[in-house]
Amino acid sequence: MSAEQQVDITPLYMIDLVRRMPTAIVLINSEIGKETDILDHLCKMPEVEKAFLVYGVYDVVAKLRAESMELLEASITTKVRKLKGIRSTLTLIVSRECK
């Protein structure tokens, strides 16, 4: 079988596990000039799946995932919101996702 013909053999239970892990999108307003510092700190956190520096109403957007809702909440309240330079956050709990 060639590399182009290989099939994804990820077990279905693993796909389902990731799908059920609590996920949140956190929109962050930062103090002027602190965006990059916040992004750097977020990228070092194991709960942060992705983080983006953005232009618009918010300065940084982060996608977090944890094994339980309690761990997700703790990560947001005790880690993300405590970062220096954050003015405010808006947290969106993901109900369902695709791709």
DSSP string, 40-63: HHHHT-TTEEEEEE--SS-SEEEE
With CA atoms as reference, report the closest residue to 79 among 51, 33, 49, 38.
38
- What are φ and ψ of residue 47, in 5° steps? -75, -20
**Could you give the domains of the chain?**
22-93 (3.30.70.920)
Mean pLDDT of 38-58: 97
**pLDDT tens-digit map of 57-98:** 999 999 999 999 999 999 999 999 999 999 999 999 999 888
Q: For 5-14, how does the pLDDT look when each residue is reduced to its tens digit (9 = 90+)?
A: 666 565 555 5
